[in-house]
């Protein structure tokens, strides 16, 4: 019989011995400290200045897709409040601000006609960052596909590679004179898995038949986007941001260990390996061999791009076991809530050891030049009481995860930056406003902002000032 892994033991075995006190200086003077956001989650103003619908606008209008029937028509109203919000970024001590561009603000039909007011908005935002001496980081695509493109099949249609290349070139030409750091795609796995296979995210397409073509078109687009940016902006730093979670098998049985390798192929290897020229990770997950049906001559080369950096987005680790009930993957996750481990409000395991392990895992790729944490953060049930939000859980989460990053860095990994997710409580996709991830609390009725204790902690940590 398989021996079950004792999680308490695993946690204590994996207790990181940090040794070094957590200070800003310990990361080195050129380490980049930033905060990350995404257009759809904060901007609002969905019908303003010529923006067209994206897939999330349409998805949110359907019954039962978003918790409590929430929508992002106003979200954090960042479209109108970006100046004050950037001042908050400054106040918290961050020198880098990551935001994404709304494709349907810039190209309302997905391609072709450029909407100048959309360009103007991002120009003002970039200029405000620069005036505050905050370095702007652009993510080209953070899940808000123009609905016009979804009507033509969206990520299922191979023509998306051309549409995306056109969008990337419009953005590079418009903003590249002032923006040095670019991220091509945000978490393509979420698009393929949640958006086109389980249907939990927009556009809500369901079916395993969508998975492989969508993965392939995303993987081609990440490389193509990189090439377009590099051609137009030869001096820019170009990266890609992928989700990753260290995968533990539930037991030492061969079946669970193989299940963990399949989960690892899907969650961690799927998008980086084709870019590095290693192909899709079929060795661990033979189902991926079927992707050849969507490959054309020359695609193996087209999938490659030498990114300047890889952005890793890590929130939790996972435990998986073999399952006969899950055709295709033959695995299931053992939820953290059943494992007697600490979790966040979304039931995600708090696992700084997992952050450390996943960094080490990515550090082993030969073709990776530079790693950074492009997102990390946690949802907790925050309460605003007498003008304060005492979110000690989040503060501890950040301290522990940062210690794990520091340990991996001190062991020689080239980790050059860290972006907290996120500045403001915002539209957390299918969870609507029920999950709060911000360093700043937002009252969605009044749009009033209150810096949480975790935000104050960052200000002390980064600037050594009380705010
Ligand atoms: C996404 C964010 C999201 C965060 C927390 C990441 O997967 O890039 O948009 O809000 O996780 O769920």
Given a contact cutoff of 8 angstroms between Cβ atoms, the answer to whether 38 and 76 are in contact is no
Q: How confident is the model at residue 3 (pLDDT cuts 50, 70, 90)?
A: low
CA distance 274 to 219: 7
Residue nearest ligand 1's atom 5 by CA: 428
The residue whose two tokens read 């016009």 is: 148
DSSP state of 367: T
CA of 219 to the centre of ligand 1 (A): 19
DSSP state of 211: H
CA distance 106 to 121: 10
In the predicted structure, residue 16 carries a pLDDT above the cut 90 = no
pLDDT at 279: 98
This prediction has a pTM of: 0.97
| Token pair recorded at residue 259 | 């299940």
CATH of domain 24-463: 3.20.20.80
User: Which of 374, 398, 390, 382 lies closest to 436, judged by CA?
Assistant: 382
DSSP state of 452: -
Given a contact cutoff of 8 angstroms between Cβ atoms, the answer to whether 279 and 273 are in contact is yes
Task: Look at residue 164 and give its three-state secondary structure.
Answer: helix
The partner residues of 99 in beta bridges, in order of sequence, read 138
H helices within 75-187, ranges in order? 78-92, 103-106, 116-131, 147-150, 160-175
pLDDT at 167: 99
The model's pLDDT over 439-454, given as tens digits with 9 standing for 90+, comes to 999 999 999 999 999 9
Q: How confident is the model at residue 20 (pLDDT cuts 50, 70, 90)?
A: confident
The model's pLDDT over 62-108, given as tens digits with 9 standing for 90+, comes to 999 999 999 999 999 999 999 999 999 999 999 999 999 999 999 99
- Nearest atom, ligand 1, residue 428 CA: 10
- Nearest atom, ligand 1, residue 377 CA: 5
CA distance 398 to 378: 8
Residue of 189, 347, 421, 439 to mutate, ligand 1, most atoms within 8 A of C-beta: 421
Which contiguous run of DSSP H or E holds residue 354? helix 352-363
In the predicted structure, residue 9 carries a pLDDT above the cut 70 = no
pLDDT at 295: 98
CA distance 142 to 188: 9
Residue nearest ligand 1's atom 9 by CA: 38
CA distance 440 to 412: 33
The model's pLDDT over 123-177, given as tens digits with 9 standing for 90+, comes to 999 999 999 999 999 999 999 999 999 999 999 999 999 999 999 999 999 999 9
13 as an active site residue: the answer is no
Q: Is the dihedral of CA 404, 94, 171, 431 positive or negative?
A: positive
Q: Give me Rg for the CA atoms of the chain.
A: 21
357 as an active site residue: the answer is no
- Nearest atom, ligand 1, residue 187 CA: 8
Q: Across all residues in the chain, what is the average pLDDT?
A: 96
| Token pair recorded at residue 71 | 């929508």
Q: Where are the domains of the chain?
A: 24-463
CA distance 456 to 422: 14
In the predicted structure, residue 392 carries a pLDDT above the cut 50 = yes
CA of 198 to the centre of ligand 1 (A): 17
Q: Which residues are annotated as a binding site for substrate?
A: 41, 142, 186, 315, 421, 428-429
The model's pLDDT over 281-303, given as tens digits with 9 standing for 90+, comes to 999 999 999 999 999 999 999 99
- Nearest atom, ligand 1, residue 346 CA: 12
Out of 43, 150, 187, 224, which one is annotated catalytic?
Answer: 187
Residues 6+ away with beta carbon under 8 Å from 278? none
In the predicted structure, residue 357 carries a pLDDT above the cut 50 = yes
The residue whose two tokens read 């998008």 is: 271
DSSP state of 298: T
pLDDT at 1: 46
Q: How many residues does the chain have?
A: 467
Residue of 429, 434, 439 to mutate, ligand 1, most atoms within 8 A of C-beta: 429
Torsion angle, CA of 149/153/158/160, rounded to 10 degrees? Answer: 10
Q: How confident is the model at residue 8 (pLDDT cuts 50, 70, 90)?
A: very low
The model's pLDDT over 316-327, given as tens digits with 9 standing for 90+, comes to 999 999 999 999
| Token pair recorded at residue 258 | 């193989």
Q: What percent of the chain has pLDDT over 90?
A: 95
CA distance 210 to 36: 30
| Residue 413 Rama label (left phi>0; alpha psi -120 to 50; beta) | beta
| Token pair recorded at residue 416 | 């050059």
Ligand 1, residues at Cβ distance < 6 Å: 38, 41, 186-187, 190, 243, 313, 375, 421, 428, 437
CA of 324 to the centre of ligand 1 (A): 30
């Amino acid at each position: 019989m398989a021996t079950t892994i004792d999680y308490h033991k695993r946690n204590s075995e994996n207790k990181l011995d940090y040794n070094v006190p957590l200070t800003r200086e310990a990361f080195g003077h050129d380490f980049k400290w930033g905060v990350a956001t995404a257009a759809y989650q904060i901007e609002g103003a969905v019908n303003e200045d010529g923006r067209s619908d994206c897939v999330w606008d349409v998805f949110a209008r359907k019954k039962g897709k978003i918790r409590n029937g929430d929508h992002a028509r106003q979200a954090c109203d960042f479209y109108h409040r970006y100046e004050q919000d950037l001042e908050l970024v400054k106040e918290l001590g961050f020198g880098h601000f990551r935001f994404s561009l709304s494709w349907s603000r810039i190209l309302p039909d997905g391609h072709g006609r450029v909407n100048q007011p959309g360009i103007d908005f991002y120009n003002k935002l970039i200029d405000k960052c620069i005036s505050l001496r905050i370095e702007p980081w652009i993510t080209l695509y953070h899940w808000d596909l123009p609905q016009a493109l979804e009507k033509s099949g969206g990520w299922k249609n191979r023509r998306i590679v051309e549409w995306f290349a056109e969008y990337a070139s419009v953005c590079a030409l418009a903003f590249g004179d002032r923006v040095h750091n670019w991220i091509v795609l945000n978490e393509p796995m979420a698009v393929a898995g949640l958006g086109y296979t389980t249907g939990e995210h927009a556009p809500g397409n369901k079916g395993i038949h969508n998975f492989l073509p969508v993965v392939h078109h995303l993987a081609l687009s990440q490389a193509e986007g990189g090439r377009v940016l590099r051609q137009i902006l030869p001096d820019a730093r170009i990266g890609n941001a992928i989700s990753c979670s260290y995968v533990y098998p539930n037991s030492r049985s061969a079946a669970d260990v193989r299940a963990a390798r399949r989960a690892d192929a899907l969650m961690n290897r799927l998008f980086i390996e084709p870019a590095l020229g290693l192909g899709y990770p079929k060795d661990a997950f033979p189902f991926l061999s079927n992707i050849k049906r969507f490959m054309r001559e020359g695609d193996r080369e087209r999938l490659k791009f030498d990114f300047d950096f890889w952005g890793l987005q890590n929130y939790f680790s996972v435990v998986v076991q073999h399952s006969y009930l899950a055709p295709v993957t033959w695995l299931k996750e053992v939820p953290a809530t059943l494992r007697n481990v600490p979790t966040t409000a979304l039931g995600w395991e708090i696992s700084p050891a997992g952050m450390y392990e996943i960094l080490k895992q990515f550090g082993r790729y030969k073709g990776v030049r530079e790693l950074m944490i492009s997102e990390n953060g946690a949802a907790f049930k925050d309460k605003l009481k007498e003008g304060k939000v005492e979110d000690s859980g989040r503060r501890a989460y950040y301290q522990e995860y940062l210690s794990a990053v520091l340990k991996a860095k001190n062991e020689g990994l080239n980790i050059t930056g860290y972006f907290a997710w996120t500045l403001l409580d915002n539209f957390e996709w299918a969870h609507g406003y029920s999950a709060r991830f911000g360093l700043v609390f937002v009252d969605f009725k009044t749009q009033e902002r209150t810096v949480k204790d975790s935000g104050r902690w960052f200000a002390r940590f980064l600037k050594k000032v009380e705010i």
